[in-house]
A and B are shown apart, each in its own frame.
Chain A
Amino acid sequence: SQTIHQWPATLVQPVGSPLSLECTVEGTSNPNLYWYRQAAGRGLQLLFYSVGIGQISSEVPQNLSASRPQDRQFILSSKKLLLSDSGFYLCAWTDTTGPYEQYFGPGTRLTVT
């Protein structure tokens, strides 16, 4: 069966510090991968998605970037965090054969102080 991992589970970082969040998927190959942010009272916002190694699409302009160095690894990064980057970050995967339901990881709670 497939599993998806995210770490760290929680993170408190000062403004201006760098960020690296990691997501890995087990039990599948060539998944589509997604990063979402969930801010209080604002629902889920799709940040990035990837259909393959090195292929990243950004949904919104922002202070964050994403990379996919391996087939089942997806990394969310920032060079300098802003207060507005605080939120709950969720990674998700789906296979490529439809109907494309997404399976979510446990999430990372990021607080920028």
Chain B
Amino acid sequence: AQSVTQLGSHVSVSEGALVLLRCNYSSSVPPYLFWYVQYPNQGLQLLLKYTSAATLVKGINGFEAEFKKSETSFHLTKPSAHMSDAAEYFCAVSARNSGYSTLTFGKGTMLLVSP
């Protein structure tokens, strides 16, 4: 079974500061991992995905994440926060089956950006 733990339900940063959102996973098989962003009253948008190629994954809006197998982590970072980054972020791990998969999501981290 897969599981995801996101450390910190809320993270506050100042505009221009480093963003670090933490995600640890548990998986019995090599995982596919994802980060999604959700703005208020909208659906989830895929930020980036890890699919067992490069361990450092670059996504949209300047975000990137690094897969560390030894630490079972997939933390999301951005060098400089922008006000428009304020949103809720979800880490997810995929349970692969033949022809389909289900995603197990973390509980989400709300990113607050102050001027």
A binding-site residues for B, Cβ under 8 Å: 6, 32, 34, 42-44, 46, 49, 51, 59, 88, 90, 92, 94, 96, 98-107, 109
Which residues in B have their C-beta under 8 angstroms from that of A88? Answer: 41
Q: Is the CB of A99 within 8 A of B41?
A: no
Asked if B41 and A107 sit within 8 Å, CB to CB, the answer is: yes
Distance in angstroms from A13 CB to nearest chain B CB is: 18
Given A44-B44, A99-B94, 20 further pairs, Cβ under 8 A: A42-B107, A43-B107, A44-B105, A46-B103, A49-B100, A49-B102, A51-B100, A88-B41, A90-B44, A94-B101, A96-B100, A98-B51, A98-B96, A98-B101, A101-B46, A101-B49, A101-B94, A102-B103, A104-B43, A109-B41
Measured CA separation A98–B101 after assembly (Å)? 8
Name the residue among B34, B36, B43 with the largest chain A CB count within 10 angstroms: B43
Q: Interface 1/0s, chain B 13-55, versus A by CB < 8 A?
A: 0000000000000000000101010000111111001010000
CB-CB contacts below 8 Å: B50-91 with A:
51, 90
User: Please, which residues of chain A bring their CB within 8 A of the CB of B45?
Assistant: 104
